[in-house]
Structure 1
Amino acid sequence: MDRLVAVLGAGDASARLRTAMTVGSEPGLVEALLERCAVEPDFFVRDMLTWALLRQPAEVTVPKVLAELQSERVQARSQALHTLSKLGVPSTWAAITPELLRDPDDEVARTAWRAAVALAPVDEREALAAVLVTQLGRGDRTVQLSLSRALVALDNLIEPHLQQALTNPDPRVRAHARATELLLRDPDAAFAADVDAAKRIDALGPEKAAQVEARLAC
């Protein structure tokens, strides 16, 4: 086992990837896999490390993954959230706190949004929508698209929240809310174009914006 742990930290990414592919069935490696998840720079290796964790006994893996959510290391939190979304254990929903959904690091927050939508029970989805809309206007287009996709996954629950966000004094929040609304109507829409369109609509003012939106809805 010590040899496998050593290879997980090898300088060659291909060697790390091959090792991650083979260690999933090896017992007693959960802590080593999580430690590597926290520092591994290669996306494909991280993905394989997650796959290896999924092959470990859930009763061992889940508590240790949950503990990683408290880590000061950004990547540890992000990878733990990603792993929880893949494990799909309903009881872990409670660990995705509003603090994680508002995490100051964009990658942690984006992963938390995806995990929350995947794990939230039906009776918690309204409360989740209320927290997620507080992040409208945050970050660049990649971050905003991640949030919009998470919101759209909650379907019609988000409509009242989006309507309220359209009156927000921050133009970035209003534009993001409008773009999300367009994405809700047409999931295949190009989000970048929707953001630009939303900004143009918002610039018209509330009355004309409402007229344009009414025409778009027809």
Structure 2
Amino acid sequence: MLIGEVARRSGVSSRMLRHYDTLGLVRPTGRTVGGYREYAARDIRRIFHVESLRSLGLSLRQIGRAMEDPAFAPATLVGDLIRRTEDRLRRERELLDRLRAVDASAPEGWPDVLGIIELLRGLDSASAARRQQAVLAPADDVPLPTDLLAGAVLAEADPNVAGALRWALARAGGDGVASLAPGMTSADVVVRRRAVRAIAGFAGAEATALLTAALGDPDPAVRRHAALASATRGETAAVPTLVTMVVEGTNDVEAAELLGALSRDAGHADRIMSALTAELAAPTADSAVRIRLTQAFAEMPPALAKDVLRRLADDEDRAVALIAAALAGVLEDRLSAEA
């Protein structure tokens, strides 16, 4: 079969077939009387083998080695191709992210584009100080894209830089909550923790709804952040988590104060008092737990808490009794002053 026919049937150009011949990749078996290349069936098969390997991203030199060296290990080359392809895709994703960040900033001219690129370079720095500076001191008049800041918040491990990013995101003016929302359902618990802390800095129904939903997160730290933030918004769904925080001694003072604030609503006070009393009577409640619960009662409305504290003043645990007696006296003085 002559070269023109081979090119037509294989889809490989005559020029490329001549190049293969020159490199020794595919040499036609014979020549016609006139000196034209003549390909046999096995030559055609070799052409298709070459094209198949090219489709995997192999260079012609690698293909020549693969087809001629009996000791060549395909798995090694394929593994190397996978790593190089993954690296190329990573670089292309980074480029795509940069382009999207620039586009999201709605640049009006090249100075805006260059400003965003400088911000991106700063956020990509290995230096935490450099990343923080990029957020706190961006180029003049360069808008900070909300999506870019949200992505940086969810990825940032340094607490100081993360704080600066949350501050910048809350003031960026875009829909920061929507940009952070995907982080709340991430499979990575660290990302969910970062997301809930950032969302806690936003007001509005959307943020409150996400925080309330996070009260059911499997991670205790996410639940605690959500409880503290949602309770400040008056969400009583946070009560069980806040009570658990008092029992476990994690941010127990802040949790008790928020329980006290929620109990100012008479419709919720009995529920909160019952939850604290139940934990006080739990067989697993040791002295330290009962002391924290006793102190939490002091944050409740005095008219409800004083009787509980008076009973605890006779508790067999001396430390609990002393604290309860002192707190009961304070509450009674407060009630007398209000009368």
Q: Report the TM-score, using the length of structure 1 for normalisation.
A: 0.69
Alignment pair present for 1:137 and 2:247: yes
- Give the counterpart letter for 2:273 in structure 1: E
Alignment pair present for 1:169 and 2:277: no
- Specify the SS of the correspondent of 1:69: helix
Pick from 271, 274, 298: which aligns with 1:160? 274
Alignment pair present for 1:53 and 2:169: yes
Pick from 36, 53, 77: which aligns with 2:152? 36
Is residue 184–residue 214 contact of structure 2 (8 Å, CA) maintained in 1? no
Q: CA deviation at 1:50?
A: 0.7
Q: CA deviation at 1:53?
A: 0.9
Could you say if the C-alpha distance between residues 132 and 217 of structure 1 is closer, same or farther in structure 2, counting changes exceeding 3 Å? same
For structure 1, list consecutive stretches of 5 or more residues without a partner in the other structure: 187-197
- Specify the SS of the correspondent of 1:177: helix
Could you say if the C-alpha distance between residues 83 and 14 of structure 1 is closer, same or farther in structure 2, counting changes exceeding 3 Å? same
- Per the alignment, residue 17 of structure 1 pairs with 132
- Give the counterpart letter for 1:171 in structure 2: A
Larger radius of gyration: 2
Could you say if the C-alpha distance between residues 3 and 73 of structure 1 is closer, same or farther in structure 2, counting changes exceeding 3 Å? farther
Q: Distance in 2 between matches of 1:153 and 1:71?
A: 32
Is residue 245–residue 251 contact of structure 2 (8 Å, CA) maintained in 1? no
Identity fraction in percent: 21
Is residue 295–residue 324 contact of structure 2 (8 Å, CA) maintained in 1? no
- Give the counterpart letter for 1:35 in structure 2: G
Q: CA deviation at 1:183?
A: 4.8
Q: Distance in 1 between matches of 2:284 and 2:217?
A: 18
Is residue 101–residue 112 contact of structure 1 (8 Å, CA) maintained in 2? no
Q: What RMSD over aligned residues (CA atoms) do the two structures have, in Å?
A: 3.7
Per-residue CA deviations over 1:83-111 (Å, capped at 9, x if unaligned) read 222211133322224653664343x2332
| Larger mean Cα displacement after TM superposition, 141-150 or 109-118 | 141-150
Q: Distance in 2 between matches of 1:211 and 1:132?
A: 21
Is residue 85–residue 118 contact of structure 1 (8 Å, CA) maintained in 2? no
Per-residue CA deviations over 1:119-140 (Å, capped at 9, x if unaligned) read 34xxx43x432453245422xx
- Specify the SS of the correspondent of 1:86: coil
Per-residue CA deviations over 1:185-216 (Å, capped at 9, x if unaligned) read 89xxxxxxxxxxx9x9573599x789847556
- Give the counterpart letter for 1:128 in structure 2: A
- Per the alignment, residue 67 of structure 1 pairs with 182
Could you say if the C-alpha distance between residues 74 and 148 of structure 1 is closer, same or farther in structure 2, counting changes exceeding 3 Å? farther
Map 1:86-101 onto structure 2 (within 5 A).
Answer: 86-97=201-212, 100=215
Q: CA deviation at 1:49?
A: 0.3
Q: CA deviation at 1:147?
A: 2.8
For structure 2, list consecutive stretches of 5 or more residues without a partner in the other structure: 1-115, 303-311, 333-339
Could you say if the C-alpha distance between residues 184 and 11 of structure 1 is closer, same or farther in structure 2, counting changes exceeding 3 Å? farther
Could you say if the C-alpha distance between residues 202 and 145 of structure 1 is closer, same or farther in structure 2, counting changes exceeding 3 Å? farther
Residue correspondences, number: 197
Alignment pair present for 1:6 and 2:121: yes
